[in-house]
Amino acid sequence: MNGTRDEQAVQTTQKTQTTRATQAEHGPGAPEGPDTPVTPDGSGALSGVRGLGGMWGAVRPYWVRLAAAGLAGVAAELCGLGLIAAAAWLIARAAQQPPVAALGLAIVAVRACAVGKGGLRYVERLAGHDVALRALAELRGRVFDALARTPASRRATAAGPGALRDGDALTRLVADVDAVQDLLLRCLLPAVAAAVCGAAGLAVCAAAVPAAAPVLAAALAVVVLVLAPAAAVAGGRAAARAAERRRDLAVAALDVLEGADDLAVFGAAGRFAGAARERSRLLARAERAAARVTALSAGAGYAVQGAAAAAVAWTAIAAGAGGVAVAVAALTALVTVEAALPLVAAAQRLREALPAARRVTAVLDSPGPRRPRVPARLPAGPLAVQLLGVTVAYPAPGGGEVRALDGLDLLVERGRRVAIVGASGAGKSTVLAAACGEAEPASGTVLLGGHDTRACDPDAVRAAVRGLAQDAHVFAGTVRANLLLARPGATDAQLEAAARRARLLEVVAGLPQGWDTPVGAGGHGLSGGQRQRLLLARALLADPPVLVLDEPAEALDTRTADDLTRELLTAPGGGTLLLVTHRLAALDAADEVVVLDRGRLAQRGTHAELLARPGPYRDLWDAELLAA
C-alpha cells in the first residue's frame, strides 16, 4: 500500500514540476498527462570546438575588451619575469660592490616592473571580468530566449535524446552558462599569458646560461604535456561525477520543495526528503574527490617548479657560470614555471567546461519557431480559433509517445465564450497550448482568425493568444509591477478595472502599501487565493484578441470561484475566451461547453443541453454534486 502511495506521489510531483517548467506566461505550453522534458543534453552530439563556437557568439561583441585583457595579462607576466630577473641580477651584482652607477639601470627596471605588474594585473582583472560578465548576461538572455521560443512539444527532441527534467534544466541554465566566465578567465587568458611568458623566460635563461635553457624547457614540457593532461583526465572524471550528483540533488530538492503538498498528502514527504539528503551526501563526497584532484595537481606543479629551479641552478654551476648568471637563471626558471602552472588548472577546468559549452550550444542551436518570409497579418479584434485534425504528442517516460490531442477538430467562433472541461489528462490545457503556439501539432492545422498559425509570425500569435497558465509565476516586486508586466503602459484606471474583475481590489486595499506593496518570488507573502487573483488580474489587463484561462478560479472558495467564473463568461466586451475549469456550476453562463476525453472531442453544447442527455458531462456533474 505504501509503495502504491509513493508511486502516486512521484507521478503527481513530476506532473507538477513538468507543468511549471513548460507552461509559458502568456499561454500554457504543457500537456496535462505525461512528463514534458525541458531541454536536451546534447553532450554527446557536438564536438568541443562547436561548443566553444556557440559561446563565441556571446563574446564576439566584446573582443576588443577581451584582447585588452589578454595583452594586460601578458604584460603583467612579463613584468613579473622582468622584476625577478632584474632583482636577481641587482642583488647578485651588488654583492660584488660595483660602482653605484652600474646598478642604476637595474634599480629603475625593478621599480618599473614592480609598479607595472600591479597596475597591469588590475587592468587585466578589470577588463577580463568586464568581458566575462557582459558575455554571461548576453548568453543567459540568448539561452532563456531560445527556451522560451521553442514550442514545448519540441523541447524534448530539439537536439536529440537526453531530455531533462526541470530541476536539471535549471541547474544547467545557471551552471553551464557560467562556464563562459571560466573559459575566458581560467582557460583562455592564462593560456595566452603562459605561452608568452614561457617563451620569454626561455630567452632570458638562454641569454644568462645557454646550457640551462634545455632544462627549463624540459620542466615546461612536464607541466604542459604531463601535468595538464593528467589533471584534465582525472579532474574531468571527478567533475563529471560531481555534476551528475549536483543534477540529482537539484531534481530531488525541487521535487521536495515544489511538490511538498502532494508528497504530504500521499505520506511520502519523509522518503523524498531522505532521498534528497542522501544525494546531498553523495554530492559532498564527489566534490571532495574533485578537490583532492585539484590539490594533488597543485602540489605536483609546485614540486616541478622547485625541481626546475634547482636543476637550472645546478646546471648553471656545472657549466661554470658566474654567481650573477646562476641567480638570474635559477630565479627566472622559478617564475617561468610558475607562470605555466595555471595551465594545469586551465586544462582541468577546460575539461569540465566543454560539456557545459556543448549543452548550451545545443539549446541555442535547437530549432526555434518557424518564421515565414511574408507572415500573414492577423485581423484586429476578437479572433476565431479552429483546430483541424490536430494531434499533439509528447514523449512518454518509458519510451514512445503519448497523444495529448488525437486528431481533434474544434471551432470556436470569434467573440464566443467557451468552457473546456474533462477529466484530468483529457487534453484541456493542451488545447490552449496549441492555440497559442506553445504546443506544435504533430499533424493537423491550427487556424487563428482564418490564418494558419504556421503562416503567421510566432510573436504575433503569442501576442494575440495570451492569458493565465495554471502555474503562472509571480515575480519578486510590487503588486503594481507584477500587473504591469502584461501591459507596461497601463493607466491606474485600467489597473483598477482588471483588479476589480479579478476580485483583487479588496486584497490591494488590505495591503500595507496598496499597489506598491512588495511581494516575494512565487507570491511569497500572499495567500493562495490572493496570488491567484493577482495572476488573473494580470491576464485580464493584457486584454488580448483571444484570452485563454487555465483554472482561473483555482485556490478560491467554491462560491467565489463560481461567481468569478460566471462573471468572466458574461462580462461584455473583450475578445474570444477559452476557459479551462473543473467546476461546472457556473457554466450555464458559457456560450458553449466543450467536453474532451483522451484528447478527443466527446461532447459539445450548452450546459443545459449537455445535462439533458447521458454522457461524460453529466457524469462530471453528478460527481461534483456528490462532492459538494
CA distance linking residue 205 with residue 218, whole number of Å: 13
Position 53 scores a pLDDT of 55
Note the pLDDT tens digit of each residue in 357-398: 777 777 777 665 566 666 788 888 899 999 999 999 887 766
What pLDDT score was predicted for residue 196?
93
Question: Tell me: the pLDDT tens digits for 447-469?
Answer: 999 899 888 888 888 889 999 88
Candidate from 396-405, 433-442, 450-459, 595-604 with smallest mean pLDDT: 396-405
Residues 347, 191 contacting (CB under 8 angstroms): no
Distance between CA atoms of residues 448 and 406, nearest Å: 20
Q: What is the pLDDT of residues 89-134, one digit of tens each?
A: 998 888 888 888 888 888 999 999 999 999 999 999 999 889 888 8
**Which residues, 6 or more positions from 292, have their beta carbon under 8 angstroms from its beta carbon?**
238
Give the cell for residue 35. 512528463
> What pLDDT is recorded for position 71?
93
| Band (157; pLDDT cuts 50, 70, 90) | very low
pTM of the model: 0.63
**C-alpha cell, 275:** 532521498
> What is the pLDDT confidence band of residue 32, given thresholds at 50, 70 and 90?
very low
- The Cβ of residue 17 has, within 10 Å, a number of other Cβ atoms equal to 22
**Do β-strands 592-597 and 443-448 pair in parallel, antiparallel, or remain unpaired?**
unpaired
What are the φ/ψ torsions at residue 519 (nearest 5 degrees)?
-125, 155
Does residue 159 carry a pLDDT above 60? no
Calculate the alpha carbon distances from 524 to 527, 531, 540 in Å.
8, 9, 22
Q: What are the angstrom distances between the C-alpha of 610 and each of 51, 314, 603?
A: 57, 99, 8
Q: Quick one: what percent of the chain has pLDDT higher than 90?
A: 42
Closest CA to 167 of 245, 269, 282: 245
pLDDT bucket at 616, cuts 50 / 70 / 90: very high
Closest CA to 48 of 353, 288, 294: 353
Q: What is the mean pLDDT of the chain?
A: 82
Q: What is the pLDDT of residues 272-328, one digit of tens each?
A: 888 889 999 999 998 898 888 889 999 999 999 999 999 999 999 999 888 889 999
For residue 33, pLDDT beyond 80:
no
Beta-bridge partners for 577: 417, 547
Angle (nearest 5°) at CA 259 between 287 and 474 = 95
Stretch among 188-197, 204-213, 247-256, 488-497 having the lowest mean pLDDT: 247-256
* Residue 16: per-residue pLDDT: 41
pLDDT at 517: 92
Half-sphere exposure of 626 (CA within 13 A, CB side): 6
- Pick the more confident residue, 59 or 485: 485
b/e burial code for range 188-214 (CB count within 10 A of at least 16 → b): bbbbbbbbbbbebbbebbbebbebbbe
Sign of CA dihedral 378, 384, 387, 392: positive
pLDDT above 60 (res 496): yes
pLDDT in tens, 203-233: 999 999 999 999 999 999 999 999 999 988 8
